[in-house]
Amino acid sequence: MPASILMNPVGYVRSARAKAEDDGWDAYPARIELDPARFGPEALAGLDDFSHVEVLFHFHAAPGVGETGARVPRNNPAWPKIGIFAQRAKDRPNHIGATLCRVLSVHGTTLEVAGLDAIDGTPVLDIKPVLKAFLPRGDVVEPGWAGELMRHYW
């Protein structure tokens, strides 16, 4: 097993939101600017035919090596202590984020999206179109605390 994996960002997030805060992400439109040294407009061709994309990114501003055990989400004593893989916190072992975003527009090598919970300057690792066949089959089930946590997130 390799000790590390090298990845080069495909682009970077540009947003008015410079600081990671827990809630209100829909208030900040975002765009993803592809690396012009690696990609031309053809890389985004056809993406505007999709309503949503999945954006994989690196939580580059998250401190330290990341959580590997269990913790209480947002330090809320009303919620249970759960493992890092049972939550979507930025303080993850590899600091990788994934968000489904609404496609607003595509212009050249720039993708404008809504609902991206990443700050300005965030390295984008990959962009994938959302296809219905990849969405969960059956009902999505989550504990009550997760709904409380997400109440003001967007």
pLDDT per residue as tens digits for the range 5-50: 999 999 999 998 888 777 667 777 899 999 999 999 999 999 999 9
Q: How far is CA 82 from CA 57, 87, 148, in A?
A: 23, 8, 15
**pLDDT range class, residue 92, cuts 50, 70, 90:** confident
Question: Which domain covers residue 138, as residue numbers?
Answer: 11-150
pLDDT in tens, 110-120: 999 999 999 99
**Sequence-ordered list of residues with C-beta below 8 angstroms from that of 92, at least 6 positions apart, any chain:** 59, 62, 66, 67, 84
Has residue 4 been placed in a domain? no
Question: For residue 150, what pLDDT is reported?
Answer: 83
Has residue 60 been placed in a domain? yes
Has residue 135 been placed in a domain? yes
Question: For residue 115, what pLDDT is reported?
Answer: 93
**pLDDT range class, residue 68, cuts 50, 70, 90:** confident
CATH number, domain at 16?
Answer: 2.40.30.70
Domain count, the chain: 1
Has residue 96 been placed in a domain? yes
Burial of 31 (0-12, 13-18, 19+ CB in 10 A): middle
Cα 2 off chain centre by: 25
Secondary structure (DSSP) of 99-137: EEEEEEEEETTEEEEES----TTPEEEEEEE--GGGSPS
Question: For residue 24, what pLDDT is reported?
Answer: 64
Has residue 5 been placed in a domain? no
State the average pLDDT over residues 65-76: 85
Question: For residue 63, what pLDDT is reported?
Answer: 78
Has residue 1 been placed in a domain? no
The model scores a pTM over 0.75: yes
> Does 152 or 21 have the greater pLDDT score?
152
